[in-house]
Chain A
């Protein structure tokens, strides 16, 4: 412990021996306490799960997106063209006054 704190505090020569030792000891007690370890473990788990979730959401979004492109997009485009044709016929019928067949 003391050697670690000594290596960290190369610059500040004022608090070597005892002062540097206190801060080093406090940080190392905190980082080696069981609560801290537990918190770190759960943060690791949460990061792992989030990464997996993002990946699978990404995969699902890709599959849904490409499937929509292949299945639904041509249908929408063709339905819109059919609707335009209807509108054109309606317009022509109203313009020329021909009875709608």
Chain B
């Protein structure tokens, strides 16, 4: 009923800090929850760094207060799915040019890669509470392009979202805060191309120091995650995912250290996969990235390095 904080006030609390009293929860004034797809946000940020193999170089050039261009060069082996258990890697090089316009009410991002793939994203605030998002990915290969549009409505303590996608993909989800720390949500989707439909539920508990989420879906997927902040700079995260259809179980434990000039993330998997990711700020506007992934089971090792220049 009353939102008693988990931890008692520490013995060496500062003299000016009043002891916490039991607050009466005002159920009419609950905070707005995170959007449904961001319910796992903390664990995703800690446990899923963008590991890559090879070299990566990103350069952002600002042409105005809201508009900037981006150039991105990546070189390295990319995996090609093959029948044999050994992964086949083919060295590729890729250049991608992008133009971005970012405004509090309107965001437009477009990227074109040298092999003719176009990726566009749009986010517009139509009113204070209604947000329209769209993204499209076009390629020259037939039947590989797709687009998706989303309408979000943000209420006082709930959010509702409707998704429409190419290939007749329809989805709707709703999430509501039930106490200042807990929010519950549900979703329903229908994929026309594969004639599949599903229902899912999600719950999230968040505190100053911990975030625990759980999600189940009728596709047989169960995902639980827990993130604990042990200090200002270091937090630990763990995730457990289980797929009932394919009987696939994965548990992951990782850490995330946000220091002043660097950010180090590491994780270890139950599939014998160890990942490390380091981003270090060498100078104003110059960041150095190192990524390493060791798969002890498949004996597959991937290392990458890169730079990000500009803002």
Contacts and interface: CB of A to CB of B under 8 A. Distances in A.
A90 interface: no
A71 interface: yes
B276 A82 contact: no
A74 B257 CA distance: 11
6 contacts: A70-B294, A74-B266, A75-B255, A78-B278, A79-B257, A82-B260
Given A79-B257, A82-B261, A74 B294 contact: no
Contact of A71 (B261, B262, B268, B290): B268
B264 interface: yes
Given A74-B264, A74-B266, A67 B259 contact: no
A93 interface: no
The size bracket of the interface on A is: 10 to 19
B292 interface: yes
B172 interface: no
Given A67-B296, A75-B264, 9 more contacts: A67-B274, A71-B266, A74-B290, A75-B257, A78-B259, A78-B278, A82-B259, A82-B260, A82-B261
Interface of B: 233, 255, 257, 259-262, 264, 266, 268, 274-276, 278, 280, 290, 292, 294, 296
Contacts, number: 45
Interface of B is mostly: strand
Interface in A46-66: 63, 66
Contacts of B280: 78
Given A67-B274, A70-B274, A78 B264 contact: yes
A75 B290 CA distance: 12
B295 to A, nearest CB: 11
